[in-house]
Structure 1
Amino acid sequence: MGDDGIDYNIVFPEPQISEKYWRGSKEPVVILLGWAGCRDKHLSKYSSIYNTQGCVTVHYTAPLKTVFISESFGYKELRSAAHKLLEILYDYEVENNPIFFHVFSNGGFMLYRYMVELLQSHKQFSSLCVVGTVVDSAPGSQNLRGALRALKTTLGPNVNVLLRCFLLALFAVMVVLLRVVLYPVTKYFHKNHYDAMMERPAPWPQMYLYSRADRVIRYRDVEKMVRALQEKGLSVESFDFITPPHVSLFRDCPEDYSNRCHTFLNSCMTNFEGTVRGKRFQVHH
């Protein structure tokens, strides 16, 4: 669907499945944010993890130019997409449902960063209730080699060799200049996603899934983020799948991956329902 100027998909579960899992409570809305170059058919496989549990799912992947070009130059196009995605919840009248994010690679994490900022600062979205986030193969920090691998994979073999080399060289120069050499200055105008989320993280529970064999996102960057958030007193857990390549955790370990997502979602929902009951108790007594 693209009625809102962005190409997203929303899937509603069968009512009897929602009732089976959530027993009359509002089912979670899971927002899946794809990696750069991800197609909807890929996200649909992850969506099924949650649809089979009676969740509503929204899938969206930011355009390549927005992830690789606009964000590197400091244009906040992704903020506009983040705003539209949150507005979709009102369009489909699920703004009162608990919200859960599932974020892939830096492409998804860059967009997630703006959604978190809007949820924390924008009056329109202050009533939305996020219960948790799963982060898959992210975030990475100033990893030029990984970024080039990601862009090369995304461009694919069908792009002319000379054009591919030109684009990779241009991207490398741009990233080194704006995101490494000049970053001590440019960060005052536009912090990168990694620093922004470390400085002002999401307050809800988070689970980071990654692999030390990932050649696009350094596992040390993920572990550094996890430690920093835990030191801030946030509820953060992580798991290293060790051997799968970048964004291949589910493909290589489908059962373990699905179970971890289900267990974490259920834990977040239990905490959320306990909080809601507590608030009701305070109101009535």
Structure 2
Amino acid sequence: MAADKIDYNIVFPDAGTSERHWQRTKEPVVILLGWAGCKDKLLSKYSSIYNKQGCVTIRYTAPLKTVFISESFGYKELRSTALRLLEILYGYEVENCPIFFHLFSNGGFMLYRYIIDMLHNDKQFSSLCVVGAVVDSAPGSGNVLGALRALTATLGPNISPVLKYVLLALFAVTVFLLRIVLYPLTKFIHKNHYDAVRDKPPVWPHLYLYSRADQIIRHSDIEFFIEEVKKKNVPVDSYDFISSPHVGHFRDFPEQYTLKCRCFLVACMEGFKMAETKKRQHVESQ
């Protein structure tokens, strides 16, 4: 793709599958936002959950440097990425379809934060209809050790040990200073993703999938976040897989995970259809 474009993948279902699942209703467009370092072949396994249900799917994972460096220093590079992702909907003429998100870890949640901001504040996207979101292993806040574990896993075993430890040390110092010690001041310039979404959450339903065995994102962070957004009347459901590792719930419990995602999507679409029916009845009564 061109240098000024983002590297995404889009899959359209066959017409028969869509009609079978969404009879006379526009099929959902599911946008999957991968975790830092996620390979597309892994993300495609998640998109197949929705492709088999007659959905259009768009897969995208933000670059490592953007997640671990740009965001750590408060550079909002992901904002332009969020803009391009939303513009894809218009490029493929699916902007009138119901939109559904499925995001993973803080890497996906950081990008989701900017998408939410644009959906709230940019008139260009005011007509987009988001029906729900699945959040896998996120969000986390102020966990330097967890962030280091995530970066270590992302760097992999092939990097030079000296370079790896230098990078980890620099990253740890940066995160500790900017995101913990100085955060009471820096938050006025660049609020972290956790606080930004918690303070102004979107109104559509969310399903949080997590595990208390997660060594990267603390389950207590997710549970606290859920309770806070519930106070703002956001429809929220959640499920603790208990034993699965970070972004490993689908791998360890494929049938259960798939069922929860599909049932939640169907419930969100039912809500969407009811809202559309009420709108038509209101227009016809005038």
TM-score, L = length of structure 1 = 0.99
Range with bigger deviation, 182-191 or 3-12: 3-12
- 1:156 is matched with which residue? 156
CA distance in 1, matches of 2:65, 2:202: 26
Separation of aligned partners in 1, 2:256 and 2:246: 17
The one-letter code of the counterpart of 1:32 is L
- In 1, the alpha carbon distance for the partners of 2:160 and 2:123 equals 47
1:177 matched to 2:168? The reply is no
Structure 1 Cα separation of the partners of residues 220 and 4 of structure 2: 38
Contact preservation (8 Å) 1:140, 1:194: yes
State the match for 2:264 in structure 1: 264
Q: Which residue of 2 aligns with 1:86?
A: 86
The aligned residue for residue 61 of structure 1 is: 61
Secondary structure of the residue that 1:72 maps to in structure 2?
coil
CA deviation map 1:192-246 (0-9, x unaligned): 0000000011110000000000000000000001101111111001000000000
Kindly tell me the number of residue pairs found equivalent between the two proteins.
Answer: 285
Asked if the contact 1:134/1:206 (under 8 Å) is kept, the reply is yes
Q: Deviations over 1:138-185 (max 9, x none)?
A: 000010000000000000000000000000000000001100111000
Structure 2 spans left out of the alignment, 5+ residues: none
Task: Please state whether the residue corresponding to 1:176 is helix, strand or coil.
Answer: helix
Q: 1:187 to 1:238 in 2, by over 3 A?
A: same
SS at match of 2:243: coil
Work out the CA distance in 2 between the residues paired with 1:15 and 1:165: 51
In the superposition, relative to structure 1, how do residues 40 and 2 fare at CA in structure 2: closer, same or farther (>3 Å)? Answer: farther
Aligned equivalent of 2:130? 130
Superposition pairs of residues 113-124 of structure 1, within 5 angstroms: 113-124=113-124
Query: What amino acid is aligned across from residue 266 of structure 1 in structure 2?
Result: V
Taking the TM superposition and a 5 Å limit, the aligned residue runs for 1:151-230 are 151-230=151-230
Task: Report the AA paired with residue 243 of structure 1.
Answer: S
CA distance in structure 1 between the partners assigned to 2:282 and 2:24 by the alignment: 22
**Is this contact kept in 2: 1:4–1:84, CA < 8 A?**
no
SS class of match (2:72): helix
The amino acid across from 1:71 in the alignment is E
The 3-state SS of whatever aligns with 1:133 is: strand
Counterparts of 1:8 and 1:61 in 2: how far apart (Å)? 8
1:31 is aligned to 2:39? no
Amino acid at match of 2:213: A
Percent same amino acid among aligned pairs?
Answer: 65
Deviation of residue 21 (structure 1)?
0.3
Distance across 2 between alignment mates of 1:232 and 1:4: 38
Q: Residue in 2 aligned with 1:254?
A: 254
Q: Letter of the 2:272 partner, please give it.
A: F
Alpha-carbon separation, structure 1, partners of 2:250 and 2:185 = 39
Residue 4 (structure 1) shift: 5.7
In structure 2, the CA distance between the partners of 1:44 and 1:2, relative to structure 1 (3 Å rule), is: farther
Q: Give unpaired runs (5+ residues) of structure 1.
A: none
Is residue 2:58 matched to residue 1:73? no
Counterpart residue type for residue 263 of structure 2:
T
User: Once the 2 structures are TM-superposed, how far is the Cα of residue 24 of structure 1 from its aligned partner?
Assistant: 2.0
Match of 1:95 in 2: 95
Amino acid at match of 1:157: P
CA RMSD across the alignment: 0.8
1:28-54 CA distance string (max 9 Å, x none): 000000000001101100000000000
- Hey, which bits of structure 1, 4+ residues long, moved more than 4 A? 1-4
Q: CA deviation at 1:3?
A: 7.5
CA distance in 2, matches of 1:284, 1:159: 64
Kindly state the Cα deviation for residue 25 of structure 1 after the two structures are TM-superposed. Answer: 1.1
Q: 223-232 or 55-64, which moves further after superposition? A: 223-232
Equivalent position of 1:8 in the other structure: 8
What is the CA–CA distance in structure 1 between the aligned matches of 2:141 and 2:281, rounded to whole Å?
Answer: 44
C-alpha distance in structure 2 between counterparts of 1:104 and 1:2, whole Å: 26
